[in-house]
Structure 1
Amino acid sequence: MKRRTLVGGIAAAAAAATAPGAAAPRRIGMSDVDRLRKRFVQIISSDHHHGGRLGIEQQAAVLADEALDLQDSGSATQRVRNSLYASAAAFRSSAMWAAIDGRRFDNAKTHMREAQALAEISGDSAIKFRIWSHAGTMYRHMGRPEDALAANDVARNLRLTRRDPLFACLGHARQAATLGLLGDTAAVQRALGCAQDAFERADPALARPVWMTAVRNGAELETLALAAHFRLGNFERAETHAHRSLALLRPQMRRDRAINTARLATAQLGQGDTELAIATAMKVPTDVAAQHARVAHMLRGFGTTLCATAPGSTAVQTWTEHAATWRTTA
């Protein structure tokens, strides 16, 4: 993967500007930024469809470097330069997210540090929110709830969340998912209540980043409520939120649908509905189960719980035979 440091990029830009006899630099404009934004939309689409593949992480990191290379290639207004830094931060945050989703946490932390630096230079509060919110999710998946809560608090305290309640909604909902790890039912309920209130106050007509798509229609709120109640062991509530999220998720969001289906199956198993749970788990597409680390991790957990719940049963045999079909393609 092509790597560069932010400091190195700035130094190169300064050297190019002062080199004796250098040709007049070309003008970098918002049309260059717009081209990068179109590539970012493509990265988001790939993420929704495929999830945390290494190829998406690498592509996003390369595009972040391309955005920084533009800083070195010509003259530009401060607005354009800030937009280029924001684009680089956005791509690096997508590399971070792909690494989190693929459970490559060391990679994710490396991407996070560079994304945070780029976001600070850009002054873009929306991308700052995304990075810190992703950091909270990363620590949650790593089993470090206190760090997750602290990262979420940084995102939730940005001024942006007061200007746009939809960002506040996402911040509260992600906090609820982390509080579920701590087993604090009352805190989860408060956080989800705040998220719902913010969602209802949000103006649906406001323009928002493409990565907020699932937040706009409530799918992400239902997904995070599912995660929170799932971790609390409130399987009946978790099942309700799972069905709501699956109804709201767009068809192309295959990764999210697979994750929520796996959680739904485990919630059904937790209520003693073994046959229904197996039927639900078998709805996860084989290619997603084989190629997505987080989905595979969840389904392995489902299998472990099933074996503990009904050892030696035909249900266990049915699931074991099915799981073998996607494990062999991984």
Structure 2
Amino acid sequence: MNIERNTALEAWMTEHGHSSNSLAEAVNAAQERLTGRPGGLDGSSVRAWKAGRVRWPKSGARRALEEVTGLSATALGFVPRGRKSSAPVPSQEDLEMNRRALVGGIAAAAVAAAAPGTVAPRRIGMSDVERLQGRFTEIVASDHRHGGQLGIEQRAAALADEALNLQNAGSAAQRVRSNIYAAAAAFRSSAMWAAIDGRRYEVALKHMREAQSLAEMSGDQAIKFRIWSHAGTMYRHMGRPADALAANDVARSLHITRRDPMFASLGLARQAAIAGTAQDRTATRRALEQAQEAMIRADSADFRPVWMLAFYDQAELDSLSLSAYLSLGDYPTAEFHAHRCLVALRPHMVRSRAITTTRLAHAQLAQGDADASLATAMEVQTDAATQHARVSRMLQEFGAALRAKAPGSPLVQDWNEHVAAWRTTV
């Protein structure tokens, strides 16, 4: 029996700088994330894959390898049991061609499908979509833990490109293609949100335009809502309430808001935050009342997209109410919503807790309670205080306001020492 080397796997490893040992470690870690138990591979296991001695890895290792590489096992040169490989032994020139082809990530599957000896192009299916959706869930979770980080933005943008490469990797039904475009739009909208949260607005605008185009090709109402709603928030943070309201109105005009009261509620809550920035008290209160009414009407349903299920609830409605009333200068009402939000926030909403705590400190200080506000501000976790652009800026503004309220007081000294301690831990 002739044993053929797995040149596709070798080419991928070369392109991505992996040794046999480092790939084994990455696959073991991925298997632990997927199953809760670490994998048992070592460098010799990967060398057996490359040499062709193992033509079809065990299911756990195979799934983890697909997670690490973003490619199917067959695209990586493995052959399912019972199937014979019809490909001839490649020449050195063929190896170089394969190596170049794999640069495109998932798009390498298209090259493999078109190579001599392949019976038919690869068929892209819902399993590919589900894999992308699983990685999107990871992006959403990272955002709620850390928020605004450049690494999250870059990873989400890369995954959007990966999803688009998949479109060229083979044939697919229209429903599958629409779902892939929706996944690409979702990744790009997460890159957009990370840039907004990190106050990188020019970059966020570029992500927004790309996300909008992808969403149109997908026809997915939920992702269109997310993108336009994010745009409204972006313009609000940029101090452009008219543009913010216009963008949010596009989100609220989508028929998904008529079909699902939860989307209607989120659109109204963000409209209230924009109205607060514009100093429109009547519009703020009316929008918040309507947002609350819509949330009460909404069913508790698992059919909503993961990004909606992960963050929008009563706590987020109170968070947007806090933002709106803080902008209006109604500090007692803002404080009320801050406390309600903090009680109801789910544990994974780390970034939101830091933002709400900082806003609460501002509301307390504005009411003259400097001692309570200082204690509240000191509760913000070090990571958020030093690494999250929005939180860092709000805390700087808090420090300036505290110095203006109580110049030369021991409270100011305590705050300065606390900030210095934060900086030494970075």
Per the shorter chain, which TM-score range? over 0.9
**1:89 touches 1:116 (CA, 8 Å); kept in 2?**
yes
Cα deviation for residue 18 of structure 1 reads 11
**Amino acid of the structure 2 residue aligned with 1:241:** H
State how 1:163-174 maps to structure 2 within 5 Å.
Answer: 163-174=259-270
**Amino acid of the structure 2 residue aligned with 1:143:** G
**Amino acid of the structure 1 residue aligned with 2:149:** R
Cα deviation for residue 325 of structure 1 reads 2.0
Match of 1:37 in 2: 133
- Ranges in structure 1 where 5+ consecutive residues have no aligned partner: 1-13
Match of 2:322 in 1: 226
Distance 1:321 1:30 in 2: 55
Flag the structure with larger Rg: 2
Match of 1:276 in 2: 372
**Amino acid of the structure 2 residue aligned with 1:62:** A
Cα deviation for residue 164 of structure 1 reads 0.2
Distance 1:116 1:261 in 2: 33
**1:49 touches 1:252 (CA, 8 Å); kept in 2?**
yes
1:222-259 per-residue CA deviation (whole Å, 9 max, x = no partner) reads 11000000100111000110011111111121100000
RMSD: 2.2
1:148-169 per-residue CA deviation (whole Å, 9 max, x = no partner) reads 0000000011000000010000
Cα deviation for residue 184 of structure 1 reads 1.1
State how 1:241-280 maps to structure 2 within 5 Å.
Answer: 241-280=337-376
**1:47 touches 1:98 (CA, 8 Å); kept in 2?**
yes
**Amino acid of the structure 1 residue aligned with 2:301:** A
Higher relative contact order (CA closer than 8 Å, sequence separation 6+): 1
1:62-96 per-residue CA deviation (whole Å, 9 max, x = no partner) reads 00011001000000000000000000000000000
User: Structure 2 vs 1, CA of residues 253 and 61 (structure 1 numbering), >3 Å: closer, same or farther?
Assistant: same
Cα deviation for residue 216 of structure 1 reads 4.7
TM-score (norm: length of structure 2): 0.72
**Amino acid of the structure 2 residue aligned with 1:59:** R
**1:85 touches 1:118 (CA, 8 Å); kept in 2?**
yes
**1:95 touches 1:111 (CA, 8 Å); kept in 2?**
yes
Matching residue within 382, 392, 396 for 1:286: 382
Q: Which protein has the bigger helix share?
A: 1
Match of 1:112 in 2: 208
User: Structure 2 vs 1, CA of residues 317 and 28 (structure 1 numbering), >3 Å: closer, same or farther?
Assistant: same
1:150-194 per-residue CA deviation (whole Å, 9 max, x = no partner) reads 000000110000000100000000010011111111110011011
Matching residue within 162, 166, 181 for 1:85: 181
**2:275 touches 2:324 (CA, 8 Å); kept in 1?**
yes
- How many percent of aligned residue pairs carry the same amino acid? 67
Distance 2:309 2:300 in 1: 11
Cα deviation for residue 17 of structure 1 reads 11
**Number of matched pairs:** 319
Distance 2:364 2:345 in 1: 20
